[in-house]
A and B are shown apart, each in its own frame.
Chain A
Amino acid sequence: MDKNVVLVVFAKILVPFILLFALYVQFHGDFGPGGGFQAGVIFATGIILYALVQGVDRAMAVMPPAVLKPMMAIGVLLYGGVGIASMLLGGHFLDYGFLAHDPIHGQHYGILIIELGVGITVAAVMMVIFYAFMGEQN
């Protein structure tokens, strides 16, 4: 990696913007193109780029697998939790209208939270898969 100075420096500049863009795509998905699936994948791509130019060990220091493994499940649980919450509040499973006094606000909250759940799971799964593939070779 020592030879590719341009690559290393340029990737270092690019990574924060990729991560920021992922967050934009995540939380602006209601209004423009985007959502949890895209944001999760783009976030993972940023970390994978970092791992490819700086080495997997440094990427694992930033995003430890021990943190990512629970995150895979937390996203799905967040999604399911919204469904349970709307049931407890008197609606059907995943009926977001009951999450707030105004059904439209409820829909907004519901979509925001489940998209976050989707994003967390997708990002964590993609990064864990990448780590698993980079595991043993040199």
Chain B
Amino acid sequence: MRWRGRPCIPAGIRACPIRSAVIDQVIDVLLLILLVITAIAVVRIKSLFAVVMLFGIYSLITAGIFVVLDAVDVAFTEAAVGAGITTVLMLTTLARTGHKQAPARHSPALPLTVVIITGAVLFWGTQDMPRFADPGAPIHLHVADRYIEAGPEEVGVPNMVTAVLASYRGFDTLGEVAVVFTAGVGVLALLGVRRRRKGDGDG
């Protein structure tokens, strides 16, 4: 990576000057606006099939935002999981439960009030958050520098996300895999896999 022709010295997270940060932010803002429009559509549309398909689009836009925010590994996962598997699972669920949604029987006033008050409190809280992409934000001042500077020598893996995931936080990841396994066992316990054959009505 070069900055105006001279190489950028890899001396920590705050070493190099800003590169194309404006473009990043413009694309980020545009995609976020698209995301908001999709989310509003999810709330307003009644057909559950349309809601599920919109959720697939929502996940794909999220994956795009992750790319802009430099999280390529995460974008990868979100595109495959959110737009792929989650959508398929929700569609198969709809095929088994029906896609008609009963009209709302309660007034939306109470949920709206709760949501607006909670949202206002959270919005108030953002005033204390660091500015977007601020290199001096607290999150960048502790372990991240160590992972970025020492990671390639200690672990010898260029992809720092893999190094942190598999080596520095390996114990954490073992737990996550165990959770995925447990969820799989839970689905098996609830539904079970039955091989379908012709004339084999109840499986």
- Residues of A that sit less than 8 Å from B by CB: 25, 29-35, 37-38, 41-42, 44-45, 48, 52, 56-57, 60, 65, 69, 72-73, 75-76, 79-80, 83, 93-94, 96, 104, 107-108, 110-111, 114-115, 117-118, 121-122, 124-126, 128-137
Nearest-neighbor residue (CB-CB) of A37 within chain B: B77
Q: How many interface residues does chain B have, given as a range? A: 35 or more
> Does the CB pair A35–B162 fall under 8 Å?
yes
Question: How far, in angstroms, from A38 to B170 measured CA to CA in the complex?
Answer: 16
> Which residues of A have CB within 8 Å of B197?
57
Given contacts A79-B177, A118-B173, A136-B194, contact A48 B158 (CB under 8 A): no
Cβ of B36 under 8 Å from chain A: no
> Which residues of A have CB within 8 Å of B125?
none
- Residues of B that sit less than 8 Å from A by CB: 72-73, 76-77, 80-81, 84-85, 88-89, 92-93, 95-96, 154-159, 161-163, 165-167, 170-171, 173-174, 177-178, 180-181, 183-185, 187-188, 190-197, 203
Question: How far, in angstroms, from A114 to B181 measured CA to CA in the complex?
Answer: 15
Given contacts A52-B88, A79-B177, A130-B89, contact A114 B166 (CB under 8 A): yes
> Which residues of A have CB within 8 Å of B88?
48, 52, 130
> Does the CB pair B187–A35 fall under 8 Å?
no
> Does the CB pair B85–A35 fall under 8 Å?
no
Question: Dominant SS at the A interface?
Answer: helix
> Which residues of A have CB within 8 Å of B156?
104, 107-108
